[in-house]
């Protein structure tokens, strides 16, 4: 009896908590800590969105003014401007403006006046010089710039008038990505079918890690290989003029896309339940017929997800395209050079003045890129989840 | 009488024959096999080309010399600072990413109710993170770590000149840690799932609490998987250049980095510099190949080990499922 009594006492621990998996405060604390840390992934995605968008916000809201020639206000008229207008005129943040005294503001106005006076008269009368090139109109639509004979899409963030048309960059990204996908998807999906359905188990065990090893090659190395070897070889085969072009970049991108598409497509094909295959084989279908007419249709959403993720990988790849081609030409031909969104960010961020229009536009490009990959990841995620549900449900 | 059974016998036979000698099946199976071969051939050509051309340039002198400002000369150049820079930034990264990644994986496998919407959101976030382009991580590093954390830290410490508000080793490592977080989470989760449920139940039945079970039974079993995750993250991060472009890498440094606020040289970035900025590409070709080989040996050796362990874990998983 006393023995039973003592165990009864022990089971009611500190503060009357019961023994069990929530019995101890330490346990409770650890569980909460683990939960909090596991939120980091959500936090990070949120922070990425927040901080990339924050730097790009003035562009999206149209608050930036990149015109080199601006209407000047004489220093004497300083008091006629409202503080808000003055702050905008001097291009200051609210904090900077608040910290400044009257003299500093006045000298800033003088500096601005002098800088504007130094602009050559010929340039000052150029209508383009008064243009705010960061307006959405100029970011997306063609314009006939001074000296050009027809409206054109131009990305040219150097010289006196910075031209920030984004269309050549979108076209460049699209060109290289499409070439990469057209090259990589059939190869990767075919290999996934072979490895998951047709190869013998022992061969499969070797093939899968071997192909996935392609993902282990750093993209600078793929870029280097494309630049030194592939560009020449492909030029000799196809005989086009420009040695470094979107086609070479696209094929090299394909090398990076293959392991992504292969890996996910193979997983999807393998996750099709064995009874599908066994039923088909029992009905007298050949291995190929089973793979093509039974397994592939069942796993098709997974293959689609693989392609979507491959697209995300290709459009976000930086170093390969950066090394292989860089000139921003507006051209739909895959045998011309191209400059992708990622390449532009990587190549020009070092030259861009922090907080300036160029810097903000590069961040805006990053935000757009993030949005594109976010949506494609989400689509792939939902599709894969549904597929898993369906295959497991039928089992 | 004898004709009927023989004709009955023939039908299934002919059926078997068409199934066995179906030309289309043979042709298309061959095609998929060829595609597999082509991918393997691409891999082999890249690796062999780099190995054959890079091997002669590799020497002890090459990997142990700090180059002078002009690193385009094979006689005097070396890659020591790049190797050190890459190794240090990757090491600092693992300090941050492994604990966070492992704890998140533990939550997802051991605690989270698997069907809850909230768990789905965490999973979606992890998947999303894996798909964010590396250059966007670079922008994030610049916008968050340098321009926000660093600048505010400088203001707080009243540094006269920017110390943290500029590209630095620490910021590059943190950016990479954020980037490789999903790699660690996925690998750890996979290995945690491979542990038989019975092991946990036995531990709980003996009176261990959930935390004790995780720390003393589950985690030791999952160690190979955690290791794989770490190795994969390291090999992925070692070869990445885009995220560190604006967060810490330097074109040239006369000395090795010795503080977390220093900038550093990097192997991958050096490959980029050598292949795009060289005044004479023919002359730098041997140096370039040797540098690429060093980078590839580093990342590939790691990757190879990880893939081997992972294949083993997957096999175990399939055996249990």
From the number of C-beta atoms within 10 Å of its C-beta (0-12, 13-18, 19+), residue B148 rates as middle
Tokens of A182: 């057209």
CA distance A120 to chain B (A): 35
Spatial separation of the C-alpha atoms in residues A139 and B182, rounded to whole Å? 35
Question: For B281, which residue in chain A has the nearest alpha carbon?
Answer: A228
Spatial separation of the C-alpha atoms in residues B245 and B175, rounded to whole Å? 11
Give Dmax over CA atoms of chain B in angstroms. 110
What is the per-residue pLDDT for A328? 67
Spatial separation of the C-alpha atoms in residues A73 and A54, rounded to whole Å? 30
Tokens of A199: 């190869």
Contact check, Cβ <8 Å, B181/A44: yes
DSSP letters spanning A372-386: HHHHHHHHHHHHHHH
Do B49 and A225 form a contact (C-beta atoms < 8 A)?
yes
Name the residue among A13, A38, A37 with its Cα closest to residue A26.
A13
Chain B residues close to A339, C-beta within 8 Å: none
Residue B27 half-sphere exposure toward CB, CA atoms < 13 A? 3
What is the per-residue pLDDT for A291? 92
Pairing of strands A163-164, A155-156: antiparallel
Residue ranges in chain B assigned as alpha helix (H): 3-20, 23-54, 60-63, 80-106, 117-131, 134-140, 151-157, 169-193, 197-205, 210-213, 219-239, 267-277, 281-320
Q: Is the pLDDT of residue A140 over 90?
A: no
Our measurement of the distance from residue B225's CA atom to the centroid of its chain's CA atoms, rounded to an integer in Å, reads 14
Spatial separation of the C-alpha atoms in residues B24 and B30, rounded to whole Å? 10
Put simply, whether B116 touches A (Cβ < 8 Å) is no
Spatial separation of the C-alpha atoms in residues A65 and A267, rounded to whole Å? 50
Do A135 and A294 form a contact (C-beta atoms < 8 A)?
no
What is the per-residue pLDDT for A71? 67
CA distance A222 to chain B (A): 8
Residue ranges in chain A assigned as alpha helix (H): 2-11, 25-38, 40-60, 83-90, 94-99, 102-118, 121-124, 136-140, 167-193, 201-212, 219-225, 231-238, 246-270, 274-282, 287-290, 296-316, 319-324, 341-348, 357-394
Name the residue among B235, B293, B295, B301 with its Cα closest to residue B269.
B295
Q: Is the pLDDT of residue A260 over 90?
A: yes
Q: Please give the interface size between A and B, counted as residue pairs whose CB atoms are below 8 Å apart.
A: 282
Spatial separation of the C-alpha atoms in residues A146 and A128, rounded to whole Å? 7
What is the per-residue pLDDT for A326? 67
Our measurement of the distance from residue A319's CA atom to the centroid of its chain's CA atoms, rounded to an integer in Å, reads 13
Do A297 and A221 form a contact (C-beta atoms < 8 A)?
no
Phi, psi at residue A12, to the nearest 5°?
-90, 95
Q: Is the pLDDT of residue A313 over 90?
A: yes
Do B113 and B272 form a contact (C-beta atoms < 8 A)?
no
Nearest beta carbon to residue A224 from set B144, B209, B275: B275
C-alpha dihedral (A93, A98, A100, A102), degrees to nearest 10: 120
Q: Which CATH number fits domain B59-320: 3.60.70.12, 3.30.70.580, 1.10.3720.10, 1.10.10.10?
A: 1.10.3720.10
Do A381 and B128 form a contact (C-beta atoms < 8 A)?
yes
What is the per-residue pLDDT for A253? 95
What is the per-residue pLDDT for A342? 93
Does A336 fall in a domain?
A: yes
**Residues β-bridged to residue B132:** none
Nearest beta carbon to residue A212 from set B22, B120, B307: B307
- The CATH number given to whatever domain includes residue A355 is 1.10.3720.10
What is the per-residue pLDDT for A91? 67
Chain B residues close to A33, C-beta within 8 Å: 103
The per-residue pLDDT for range A153-211, each reduced to its tens digit, is 888 887 777 888 888 899 999 999 999 999 999 999 999 999 999 998 899 888 988 89
Does A345 fall in a domain?
A: yes
Spatial separation of the C-alpha atoms in residues B86 and A306, rounded to whole Å? 31
Mean pLDDT lowest among A24-28, A227-231, A338-342, B56-60? A24-28
What is the per-residue pLDDT for B271? 92
Query: What's A252's DSSP letter?
Result: H
**Interior CA angle at A76 toward A75 and A80, to 5°?**
100
The per-residue pLDDT for range A330-371, each reduced to its tens digit, is 777 888 888 899 999 999 998 888 888 889 999 999 999 999
Do A342 and A317 form a contact (C-beta atoms < 8 A)?
yes
What is the per-residue pLDDT for A5? 42
Contact check, Cβ <8 Å, A31/B238: no
Question: For B240, which residue in chain A has the nearest alpha carbon?
Answer: A218
What is the per-residue pLDDT for A23? 58
Ranges of chain B whose pLDDT falls below 50 = 1-17, 321
From the number of C-beta atoms within 10 Å of its C-beta (0-12, 13-18, 19+), residue B96 rates as middle
Mean pLDDT lowest among A276-285, A307-316, A319-328, B6-15? B6-15
Spatial separation of the C-alpha atoms in residues A304 and A265, rounded to whole Å? 8
What is the per-residue pLDDT for A374? 92
Nearest beta carbon to residue B271 from set A214, A220, A317: A220
Chain A residues close to B178, C-beta within 8 Å: 44, 48
Residue A7, domain extent: 2-38
Higher pLDDT, A23 or B50: B50
Put simply, whether B309 touches A (Cβ < 8 Å) is no
CB count within 10 Å of CB B206 equals 10
Q: Is the pLDDT of residue A395 over 60?
A: no
Mean pLDDT lowest among A42-56, A81-95, A241-255, B111-125? A81-95
DSSP letters spanning B272-315: HHHHHH-S-HHHHHHHHHHHHHHHHHHHHHHHHHHHHHHHHHHH
Band (pLDDT 50/70/90 cuts) for residue A11 is: very low
For chain B, the C-alpha Rg in angstroms (whole number) is 27
What is the number of structural domains in chain A?
2
Does A135 fall in a domain?
A: no
Residue A43 half-sphere exposure toward CB, CA atoms < 13 A? 11
Does A329 fall in a domain?
A: yes
Does A18 fall in a domain?
A: yes
Contact check, Cβ <8 Å, A34/B182: no
Q: What is the mean pLDDT of chain A?
A: 83
Q: Is the pLDDT of residue A228 over 80?
A: yes
Tokens of B295: 């980078």
Put simply, whether B147 touches A (Cβ < 8 Å) is yes
**Residues β-bridged to residue A143:** A152
Do B35 and A186 form a contact (C-beta atoms < 8 A)?
yes
Q: What is the ipTM of this complex?
A: 0.86
Question: For B210, which residue in chain A has the nearest alpha carbon?
Answer: A21
Do B139 and B130 form a contact (C-beta atoms < 8 A)?
no
Do B143 and B165 form a contact (C-beta atoms < 8 A)?
no
**What is the pLDDT averaged over residues A107-124?**
75
Spatial separation of the C-alpha atoms in residues B139 and B302, rounded to whole Å? 28
Spatial separation of the C-alpha atoms in residues A267 and B317, rounded to whole Å? 14
Interface of B with A in 62-101 (CB under 8 A): 99-100
From the number of C-beta atoms within 10 Å of its C-beta (0-12, 13-18, 19+), residue B223 rates as exposed
CB count within 10 Å of CB B115 equals 7
Is the C-alpha dihedral spanning A145, A147, A150, A153 positive or negative?
Answer: negative
Band (pLDDT 50/70/90 cuts) for residue A141 is: confident
What is the per-residue pLDDT for A10? 44
Nearest beta carbon to residue B296 from set A33, A193, A221: A221
Nearest beta carbon to residue A38 from set B108, B210, B300: B108
Tokens of A343: 């390449």
What is the per-residue pLDDT for A339? 87
């Amino acid at each position: 009896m006393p023995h039973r009594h003592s165990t009864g006492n022990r089971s009611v621990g500190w503060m009357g908590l019961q023994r069990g998996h929530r019995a101890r405060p330490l346990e409770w604390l650890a569980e909460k800590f683990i939960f909090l840390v596991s939120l980091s992934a959500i936090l990070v995605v949120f922070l990425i969105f927040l901080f990339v968008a924050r730097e790009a916000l003035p562009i999206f809201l149209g608050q930036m003014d990149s015109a080199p020639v601006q209407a000047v206000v004489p220093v004497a008229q300083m008091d006629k401007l409202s503080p808000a207008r003055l702050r905008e005129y001097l291009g200051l943040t609210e904090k900077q403006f608040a910290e400044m005294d009257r003299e500093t503001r006045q000298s800033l106005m003088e500096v601005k006046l002098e800088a504007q006076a130094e602009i050559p008269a010929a340039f000052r009368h150029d209508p383009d010089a008064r243009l705010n090139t960061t307006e959405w109109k100029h970011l997306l639509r063609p314009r006939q710039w001074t000296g050009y004979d027809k409206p054109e899409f131009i990305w040219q963030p150097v010289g006196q008038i910075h031209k920030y048309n984004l269309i050549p960059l979108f076209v460049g990204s699209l060109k290289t990505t499409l070439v990469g996908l057209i090259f990589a998807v059939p190869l990767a999906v075919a290999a996934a079918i072979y490895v998951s359905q047709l190869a013998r188990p022992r061969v499969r065990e070797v093939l899968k890690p071997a192909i996935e090893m392609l993902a282990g090659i750093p993209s600078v190395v793929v870029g280097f290989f494309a630049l030194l070897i592939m560009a020449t070889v492909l030029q000799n085969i196809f005989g086009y003029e420009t040695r470094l072009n979107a086609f070479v970049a696209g094929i090299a991108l394909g090398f990076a896309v293959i392991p992504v598409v292969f890996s996910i497509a193979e997983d999807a094909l393998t996750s099709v339940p064995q009874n599908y295959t066994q039923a088909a084989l029992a009905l007298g279908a050949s291995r190929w017929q089973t793979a093509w007419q039974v397994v592939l249709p069942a796993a098709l959403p997974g293959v689609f997800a693989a392609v979507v993720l491959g697209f995300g990988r290709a459009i976000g790849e930086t170093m390969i395209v950066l090394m292989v081609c860089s000139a921003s030409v507006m051209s739909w031909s895959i045998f011309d050079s191209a400059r992708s969104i990622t390449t532009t960010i990587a190549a020009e961020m070092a030259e861009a003045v922090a907080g300036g229009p160029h810097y903000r536009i590069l961040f805006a490009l990053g935000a757009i890129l993030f949005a594109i990959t976010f949506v494609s990841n989400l689509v792939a995620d939902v599709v894969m989840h549904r597929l898993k549900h369906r295959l497991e449900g039928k089992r | 009488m004898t004709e009927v059974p023989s004709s009955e016998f023939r039908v299934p036979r002919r059926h078997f024959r068409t199934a066995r000698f179906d030309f289309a099946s043979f042709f298309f199976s061959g095609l998929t096999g060829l595609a597999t071969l082509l991918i393997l051939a691409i891999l082999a050509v890249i690796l062999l080309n780099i190995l054959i051309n890079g091997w002669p340039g590799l020497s002890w002198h090459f990997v142990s010399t700090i180059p002078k400002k002009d690193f385009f000369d094979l006689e005097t150049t070396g890659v020591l600072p790049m190797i050190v820079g890459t190794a240090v930034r990757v090491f600092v990264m693992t300090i941050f990413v492994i604990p966070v990644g492992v704890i998140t994986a533990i939550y997802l496998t051991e605690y989270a109710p698997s069907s809850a919407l909230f768990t789905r959101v965490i999973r979606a976030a992890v998947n999303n993170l894996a798909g964010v382009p590396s250059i966007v991580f670079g922008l994030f590093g610049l916008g968050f770590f340098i321009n926000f954390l660093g600048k505010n830290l400088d203001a707080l410490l009243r540094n006269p000149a920017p110390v943290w508000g500029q590209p630095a080793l620490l910021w590059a490592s943190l950016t990479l840690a954020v980037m490789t977080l999903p790699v660690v989470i996925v690998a750890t989760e996979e290995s945690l799932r491979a542990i038989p449920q019975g092991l946990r139940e036995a531990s709980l039945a003996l009176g261990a609490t959930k935390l004790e079970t995780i720390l003393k039974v589950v985690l030791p079993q999952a160690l190979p998987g955690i290791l794989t995750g770490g190795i994969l993250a390291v090999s992925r991060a070692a070869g990445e250049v885009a995220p560190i472009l604006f967060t810490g890498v330097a074109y040239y440094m006369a000395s090795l980095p010795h503080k977390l606020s220093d900038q550093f040289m990097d192997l991958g970035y050096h490959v980029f510099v050598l292949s795009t900025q060289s005044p004479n590409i023919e002359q730098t070709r041997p140096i370039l190949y040797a540098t690429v080989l060093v980078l590839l040996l580093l990342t590939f050796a790691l990757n190879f080990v990880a893939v081997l362990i992972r294949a083993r874990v997957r096999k175990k998983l399939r055996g249990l499922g």
